[in-house]
Structure 1
């Protein structure tokens, strides 16, 4: 038997989970819930639950105790985090939103999503605007002109969702502090929208 440091319950040795690199004792159930919560919060570097320990957990070491969908999301998030922010963006079609990468170094305008096969503007990050240049499109403010986009904006305003200033993705906070991390890796304050510097908001303190 051993005592889990999270739930403080006596557990069988068969429920013991050891994090490689530290000596803290947790049960598999608590670690599985801990990892799932962190993944839901878009945390890629998950450390030992102990506040005094900075040992990082690896997806492969937790694979046997976490759900497959949690493992897949965690692995994908780690892969995305390795891609420089200027090279990645997401398909602008809401029913796709696939991660796209431009690592060619070339100036790309009209492009096709390899997942949904629809055309979009790689500069404006919107569906392809065939009748306007990028400059004219931005001046016209057409990026939010569709009825669906207007509805989403109104809903976001009513529910107080925040929008990432980097990729434009709407984020809803269900619980926890105001320090948010978007799927694109941008960290910002949910209260005011300011970019976090070293995990700190200079506006809200």
Structure 2
């Protein structure tokens, strides 16, 4: 018996290898379109055959179902606009996945996509005080993240001032109840002057009063007395806001008295020690 030489492996041409690789990718799950996805299918929403040019709806890498794009777009529009829901679940029976807005952007169009994102943002800030910029050219969503009482605010987008309480443009010198009234340019300029000089209004007749100096309890021309600090009617020569400040002064004076007494006792003890030391030396 003679020894036989081993056969050399047969190498296929490069174009043949590429064909085999493409066939293997088509056979692998997720590697290219399968025959079922590229063929005809019946939409499970409208129960009508889809055209050959249309592909099945894919929710990214989460799920894909035999839905036509028109039906999916209508389904999302109903959930977002009518039900005001940002978390849209897949319409397939038994599917628990949620639709991804970025994956459905081409299906729903730019207008519905923006509305969908707005609803998602609103649902994410539930319980927080929010409003939209009253500027018709801006309409930016603004959130009160501090949680404090917000009044005069500035839109971070258009940089215009507005009132967070009444959701209107800033009404300098006027209350929120008066912000809806029609005012000319002179009223607007006067309101800015009031805000600049920090004038106060009489809580009874609503006239503006300016305090140059002196006691904060002022008397209006209507005969009523009010506090220039807190704009509260008073019938005494002081106000509650003044008593609170006086209370703070009393606490401060009490602490100073304790400190002075402690220093006096320390000084007496030091003098007594000096006298005792002199007696011992004598």
Q: TM-score, normalised by structure 1?
A: 0.55
Residue ranges of structure 1 left out of the alignment (5+ in a row): 148-205
2:72 maps to: 31
How many angstroms apart in 1 are the aligned matches of 2:78 and 2:89?
Answer: 12
Corresponding residue for residue 42 of structure 2: 3
Alignment equivalent of 2:99, drawn from 40, 44, 57: 57
Give the corresponding residue for 2:153.
111
Cα 1:121–1:38 change in 2 (3 A) is same
Where 1:142 maps in the other structure, the secondary structure is: coil
Question: For each residue in 1:45-92, what CA deviation from the matched residue of structure 2 results, as whole angstroms up to 9, or x when unmatched?
Answer: 212335765542111222343313322332232123212342321113
Relative distance call for 1:122 and 1:145 in structure 2 (3 A) is same
- Count of residues paired in the alignment: 141
Aligned Cα RMSD in Å? 3.0
8 Å CA contact retained: 1:2, 1:13:
no
**Can you give the 5+ residue segments of structure 2 that lack an aligned partner in the other structure?**
1-39, 184-282
Cα deviation for residue 25 of structure 1 reads 2.5
* Equivalent position to 2:108, from 61, 66, 90: 66
Offset of 1:127 from its aligned partner? 2.0
Structure 1 counterpart SS, 2:67 = strand
**C-alpha distance in structure 2 between counterparts of 1:14 and 1:124, whole Å:** 50
TM-score, normalisation: structure 2: 0.42
- Structure 2 match to 1:144: 180
Q: 2:57 aligns with which of 6, 17, 27?
A: 17
Name the CA shift for 1:130/1:67 in 2 (closer, same or farther; >3 Å): same
Does residue 117 of structure 2 align to residue 87 of structure 1?
Answer: no
Inter-partner Cα distance in structure 2 for 1:114 and 1:92 = 13
- Partner-residue secondary structure (3-state), 1:60: coil
Aligned to 2:141: 99
Structure with greater proportional helix content: 2
Q: State the alpha-carbon separation in 1 of the partners of residues 54 and 143 from structure 2.
A: 43
How do residues 182-197 of structure 1 correspond to structure 2 at under 5 angstroms? Answer: none
Aligned to 2:221: none
